[in-house]
Chains A and B, each alone.
Chain A
Amino acid sequence: MKRRDLFALPLIVIPVRVFAQAPNSHISTTDPLVFSFTKGRDVLPGKVKIELPALADNGHSVAMTVRVDSPMTEASHVRAVHMIAEKNPVRDMAVFYFGPNSPRAEVGTRIRLNGSQRIVAVAELSDGTFWSDAVQIEVREAACTDGG
């Protein structure tokens, strides 16, 4: 193998990323918490964006922004965004509800995290479709169950 062939290696990785964007790749449709609002419908990755640092010194208060790509009109708007913290004792962290009067589907808040985990956002749109995003965060010192 020529050394320049090594540059072609990253191209092999791209189809794997495309595969990861299949429906329900961020969540499980049979998860009772997810099922409680999707009622078993497919959740497609995309449209939603979670902004969270990759690393947090402690989990007591971590700034987070969640944003959904939507025109926010009467015909097409975001109804709700469900935030799930997969390793928190209370997984359903928050639900934010919007309406056609909201100009932008964006919410910023500060969250509490019980250790390193994945945060998932599931947005419910006015046309009945569900979209998701997931981010991994490393937390050095957990909140919640530290017993302190």
Chain B
Amino acid sequence: MAIARIRLPENARRGETVEVRLVIQHPMETGFRRENGERVKRNAIHSLVCRYQGAEVFRATLSTGIAANPTLRFFLRAVETGDLDFWWLDDDEIEGTVKARLVVT
């Protein structure tokens, strides 16, 4: 199970643009690396979705071209206090989720 971290401002004003930073602990194996002569199977996060109050605000399709421990930084508009839900899927069909609360004052 992957470990992820989200960074958000402590609170935001209504209508304000908020920067969201996400780091997921994941090897993003390319499938080209060798360990003791054996090829390590490709395993990268290929889909990632961010929902804010249940509505999709950001989506990304990633590949092995993204560095290990993928990091993403994007923006969203603060509407009201609610949860940010991240969901992702890797080549091993392992899902990951992480949640954070955006406080709007």
B interface footprint on A110-148 (CB within 8 Å = 1, 0 otherwise): 111100000000000000000000000000000111111
In whole angstroms, what is the CA distance A110 to B28 when docked? Answer: 12
A110, chain B: closest CB distance, angstroms: 4
B55, chain A: closest CB distance, angstroms: 7
The answer to whether residues A145 and B32 also contact, given A94-B61, A102-B58 and a CB cut-off of 8 A, is yes
- Chain B hits for A96, CB < 8 A: 58-60, 74
B81 at the interface (CB under 8 A from A): no
B54 at the interface (CB under 8 A from A): no
A9, chain B: closest CB distance, angstroms: 40
Contact between B73 and A111, CB atoms less than 8 A apart: no
Which of A61, A102, A110, A148 is within 8 Å of B76, CB to CB? A102
Number of interface residues of B (CB under 8 A): 28
Contact between B72 and A108, CB atoms less than 8 A apart: yes
Contact between B75 and A104, CB atoms less than 8 A apart: yes
In A4-51, the 8 Å CB interface with B consists of none
Contact between A90 and B58, CB atoms less than 8 A apart: no
In A73-126, the 8 Å CB interface with B consists of 83, 85, 88-99, 101-104, 106-113
- Chain B hits for A65, CB < 8 A: 73
Which of B59, B60, B67, B74 is within 8 Å of A60, CB to CB? B67
Contact between A110 and B65, CB atoms less than 8 A apart: no
Contact between B68 and A61, CB atoms less than 8 A apart: yes
Contact between A110 and B70, CB atoms less than 8 A apart: yes
B77, chain A: closest CB distance, angstroms: 4
B63 at the interface (CB under 8 A from A): yes
In B23-66, the 8 Å CB interface with A consists of 28, 30, 32-34, 55-66
In whole angstroms, what is the CA distance A88 to B71 when docked? Answer: 19
- Chain B hits for A52, CB < 8 A: none
B39, chain A: closest CB distance, angstroms: 10
- Since A96-B74, A108-B71, A147-B33 are in contact, a sample of 7 more A-B pairs with Cβ atoms closer than 8 Å, ordered by chain A residue number, is A90-B64, A94-B60, A94-B62, A99-B57, A102-B58, A109-B73, A144-B64
